[in-house]
């Protein structure tokens, strides 16, 4: 799949019990999982790739929509200029970087890059 700037690329959910959530989606939809430590599992074979992040609290907004952009600093500045607010500054995790922002309605989304 061709990754394009500013397109929805990934969706991230939260779950208290990653073992149980993987069992459910494997049995229900035959999703494939890849664990990244004990607090994150990514899924594929679902039509849109995504993951589950372990949480100790009940999910409020169940899903985090994640967009891609090759230049995080540039898109971050565009988001701020358009009235968005950065909720989590740029951070790194294996092989990629991302940040979270809220739109003017208060929806939280994220943007990632492999650059």
**pLDDT tens-digit readout, 88-115:** 999 998 889 999 998 887 888 899 999 8
Model confidence pLDDT, tens digit, residues 20-70: 999 989 988 889 999 999 999 999 998 889 999 998 987 766 788 999 999
- List the domain range (segments joined by +) for residue 43: 11-113
Looking at the 3D structure of the chain, how many domains does it have? Answer: 1
101 within domain boundaries: yes
CATH number for the domain harbouring residue 55: 3.10.180.10
C-alpha to C-alpha distances, 97 to 45, 49, 65, nearest whole angstrom:
23, 17, 15
- 57 within some domain: yes
pTM of the model: 0.75
Q: Is there a domain that residue 94 lies in?
A: yes
- Domain-embedded: residue 3: no
Give, for 72, the enclosing helix (H) or strand (E). Answer: helix 72-81
Residue 30 lies in a domain: yes
């Amino acid at each position: 799949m061709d990754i394009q700037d500013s397109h929805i690329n990934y969706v991230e959910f939260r779950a208290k019990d990653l073992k149980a959530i993987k069992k459910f989606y494997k049995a229900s939809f035959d999703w494939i999982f890849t664990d990244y430590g004990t607090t994150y599992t990514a899924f594929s074979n679902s039509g849109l790739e995504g993951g589950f992040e372990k949480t100790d609290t009940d999910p409020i907004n169940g899903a985090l929509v994640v967009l891609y952009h090759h230049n995080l600093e540039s898109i971050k500045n565009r988001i701020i200029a358009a009235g968005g607010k950065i909720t989590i500054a740029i951070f790194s995790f294996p092989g990629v970087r991302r940040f979270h922002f809220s739109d003017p309605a208060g929806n939280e989304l994220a943007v990632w890059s492999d650059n």
